[in-house]
């Protein structure tokens, strides 16, 4: 019998969904619960609190703290720590979370809120989500960062947060990478696919992927149906296509998964974190060597965060 795999995922929206639905972290009807992660030898998850688009910026900030409080209580109830860098480097347990923020418009154009969010444990920041915000242009626009957006990115970088180019427009992503090179903060794409395989503004074109990797970043492969394939039918074969392309243009140690659990519709045959061992087997059966999959499913993300997490 094969040994259980270890799994490190770069993005899910489970904390907000837990709070919104009053669900239990141990067992629920969402994409992620701890019961299903019992199948892994080790499980680490970057867990995002998203600025719900239905809320104003100020309401989103208040909702962040409510969702964070609920998620921390659930994690503590089940002895599943939320880790900063010091804790991660000393961590020998089998399950843990890293708190992340998706859509920094909740800063309410006050850069001091970056310090507040960092003090509450946010260690990865996805500055943009959709449209044009006070931070700048997201993937569905041609706009770059605003002056405030540049100040916010720089402040998060100074604090030690990892900046995420997923959801950014190409122009915003290029600015974030430029600021990373100039000021030395780490960058990542937590949940993005290949624009060469499926033309979608949320996906990374090869030149941007190469720039990210040159800046020391890694990319997490998303399982969002519309990012994997433009047509209605979507399956594990589409995951294989994007992964195979990434492997053709990027080092195998620069690729991970960031499935976007509890934030998207998933491909046929995948219903949440419990499907990842089956996806591992499918990819291995279709020609991806097991040592490469061990890197992609756990070791790459683990090495990156041990190095960069504050």
Look up residue 275 and give its two tokens.
Answer: 């499907």
Distance separating alpha carbons of residues 124 and 188, to the nearest angstrom? 9
Statement: the pTM of the whole predicted model exceeds 0.75: yes
169 contacts 217 by C-beta, under 8 angstroms = no
Distance separating alpha carbons of residues 188 and 211, to the nearest angstrom? 11
Query: Tens digits of per-residue pLDDT, 184-201?
Result: 999 999 999 999 999 999
Query: Tens digits of per-residue pLDDT, 236-255?
Result: 999 999 999 999 999 999 99
Distance separating alpha carbons of residues 219 and 165, to the nearest angstrom? 10
Picking from 230, 227, 223, 229, the residue whose alpha carbon sits closest to that of residue 269 is 223
Query: Tens digits of per-residue pLDDT, 64-82?
Result: 999 999 999 999 999 999 9
Q: In the chain, where are the structural domains located? A: 7-308
Distance separating alpha carbons of residues 192 and 187, to the nearest angstrom? 13
Task: Work out the percent of the chain whose per-residue pLDDT is above 90.
Answer: 98
According to the model, what pLDDT value does residue 230 have? Answer: 84
Instruction: Please provide the CATH number assigned to the domain covering 7-308.
Output: 3.20.20.140
User: Strand order in 219-221's β-sheet?
Assistant: 187-188, 162-164, 124-126, 95-102, 43-50, 7-12, 255-257, 219-221
Picking from 127, 125, 172, the residue whose alpha carbon sits closest to that of residue 145 is 172
Q: Does the pLDDT at position 1 exceed 70? A: no
Query: Tens digits of per-residue pLDDT, 31-61?
Result: 999 999 999 999 999 999 999 999 999 999 9
Which helix (H) or strand (E) segment is 10 a member of?
strand 7-12
């Amino acid at each position: 019998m094969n040994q259980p795999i270890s799994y490190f995922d770069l993005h899910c929206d489970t904390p907000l969904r837990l709070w919104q639905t009053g669900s239990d972290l141990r067992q629920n009807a969402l994409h992620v619960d701890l019961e299903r992660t019992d199948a892994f030898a080790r499980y680490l998850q970057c867990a995002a609190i998203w600025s719900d688009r239905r809320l104003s910026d100020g309401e989103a900030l208040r909702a962040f703290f409510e969702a964070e409080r609920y998620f921390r209580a659930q994690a503590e109830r089940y002895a599943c720590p939320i880790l900063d860098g010091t804790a991660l480097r000393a961590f020998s347990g089998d399950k843990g979370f890293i708190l992340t923020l998706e859509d920094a418009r909740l800063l309410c154009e006050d850069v001091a809120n970056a310090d507040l969010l960092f003090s509450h444990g946010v260690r990865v920041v996805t500055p943009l989500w959709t449209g044009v915000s006070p931070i700048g242009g997201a993937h569905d626009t041609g706009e770059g960062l605003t002056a405030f957006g540049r100040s916010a990115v720089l402040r998060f970088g100074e604090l030690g947060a990892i900046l995420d180019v997923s959801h950014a427009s190409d122009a915003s992503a290029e600015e974030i990478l430029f600021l990373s090179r100039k000021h030395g903060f780490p960058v990542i794409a937590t949940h993005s696919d290949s624009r060469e395989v499926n033309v979608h503004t949320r996906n990374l074109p090869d030149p941007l992927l190469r720039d990210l990797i040159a800046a020391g970043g890694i990319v997490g492969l998303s399982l969002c149906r519309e990012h994997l394939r433009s047509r209605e039918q979507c399956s594990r074969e589409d995951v294989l296509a994007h992964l195979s392309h990434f492997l053709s243009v990027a080092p195998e140690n620069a690729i991970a998964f960031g499935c976007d659990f509890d934030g998207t519709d998933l491909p046929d045959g995948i219903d949440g974190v419990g499907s990842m061992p089956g996806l591992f087997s499918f990819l291995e059966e279709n020609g991806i060597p097991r040592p490469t999959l061990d890197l992609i499913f756990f070791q790459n993300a683990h090495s990156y965060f041990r190095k960069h997490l504050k």
